[in-house]
Structure 1
Amino acid sequence: MKTSEFLNLLERHPERELNFEYAPGKLLRPDYHITEVKNIRVDATDCGGRSDAWTETVIQLWESPVPEHTDRSITARKALAILSRVNRKQPLMLDSPVKFEYGNRQFHTAQLHVAGEVVEGDHLVLRLSPEATQCKASDICGTPEPAPVAGARNGCDPASGCC
């Protein structure tokens, strides 16, 4: 989901409580906060020596170690107000994918992408999911087929120069 799509979703459901499912059946506590919005520019080089660049918007979600007494999450309208305040100081990168950074005592901190959304009554729930890592130079390294290649270690031939 792009940042602009996330903002449009919030605009379509301003009165609904916004929550996040960070793992199947696991929602953030209703007292969570949006604590930071990061515009990230990535300049990367893969193991095959090819360069790439992209941008991401990362929204950090946080729960206080001491739970606040509330049974209601922030509304989509309040999330929009926070993001509008951020946008005035640091323009949001609307065409960038949006990710959410979150962790708690039972769930390691991770950047999660939006795998879907659900509108249930007064709630708008974004289902988050981790993204698997991948070999970006698999065409050079020869990412292994189901049967490993003889003489290769972890799917990368030592003579290929990729690993």
Structure 2
Amino acid sequence: MASLAPLPLNDLTIGDLLDGLAARPASRLTFRYDGKTIRRGYHVTEVKAGQFAALDCGANPEAWTEIFIQLWDVDDAPDQMTAGKFAGIIRKVTTHVALDMNARLTFEVSDGIGPMQLHQANGPVASDDEIFVELSPRPASCKPRDRWLTAQNEAASACCGPSKSPCCA
């Protein structure tokens, strides 16, 4: 299997996903979550756009946009959804709801029996006539800690990257 385009590992945007699917509209679109493959008759039952304002645990104001795509994991259709049909559903949504193509993308998945679960997505991966999107549970995070870790990693990369600088000698 090969990635369709260089996409982020997590926090895929709706724009990234649609760009990745555009090259193969006739391919079946399959989602995987919780160690299983979604059933072939799954439905996109809802697409929501949200703008959020919050205060994180470090008393820092936060603001972001997020797109939620709700998948109903059922075997209720004779054919599996294609990448083109999925993209068409999203295009139809955009005629009624403004979608920020750079917004964080979250999938809400349920089989209609168990509770809905929130997932983040990895970039689409193609194999023959099928495109796979791996979903993983969206973990909680501490934004101040995440920012600190990012800064530490960037500092370490700048200091000890491919060419040795004086700080790494």
TM-score computed with the length of structure 1 as normaliser? 0.74
- CA drift at 1:116: 3.6
- CA drift at 1:73: 1.2
The 1:69/1:94 distance shift into structure 2, 3 A limit, reads closer
The 1:69/1:137 distance shift into structure 2, 3 A limit, reads closer
The residue identity in structure 1 corresponding to 2:31 is F
Q: Which residue of 2 aligns with 1:27?
A: 37
After alignment, is 81-90 or 43-52 more displaced? 43-52
What is the aligned length? 135
Q: Which residue of 2 aligns with 1:93?
A: 100
Verify the 8 A CA contact 1:6 1:98 in the aligned structure 2.
no
- CA drift at 1:69: 5.4
Q: Which residue of 2 aligns with 1:68?
A: 76
Q: Which residue of 2 aligns with 1:12?
A: 23
Cα distance between partner residues in 2 of 1:18 and 1:131: 21
Cα distance between partner residues in 2 of 1:59 and 1:94: 13
Q: Which residue of 1 aligns with 2:156?
A: none
More helix by share: 2
Q: Which residue of 1 aligns with 2:65?
A: 55
The residue identity in structure 1 corresponding to 2:65 is T
Cα distance between partner residues in 2 of 1:114 and 1:55: 16
Cα distance between partner residues in 1 of 2:113 and 2:46: 21
The residue identity in structure 2 corresponding to 1:14 is P
Cα distance between partner residues in 2 of 1:69 and 1:104: 14
The alignment partner of 1:80 has SS state of helix
Identity %: 32
The residue identity in structure 2 corresponding to 1:103 is S
Cα distance between partner residues in 1 of 2:112 and 2:69: 19
Cα distance between partner residues in 2 of 1:134 and 1:63: 27
- CA drift at 1:74: 0.6
Cα distance between partner residues in 2 of 1:48 and 1:16: 45
Q: Which residue of 1 aligns with 2:87?
A: 80
- Name stretches of at least 5 consecutive residues in structure 1 with no aligned partner: 140-163
Pick from 137, 140, 158 the counterpart of residue 133 of structure 1. Answer: 140
For each residue in 1:60-100, what CA deviation from the matched residue of structure 2 results, as whole angstroms up to 9, or x when unmatched? 11134xx4253x31111111111111001112110112221
Verify the 8 A CA contact 2:69 2:107 in the aligned structure 1.
yes
The residue identity in structure 1 corresponding to 2:23 is R
The 1:88/1:106 distance shift into structure 2, 3 A limit, reads closer
- Name stretches of at least 5 consecutive residues in structure 2 with no aligned partner: 1-11, 147-169
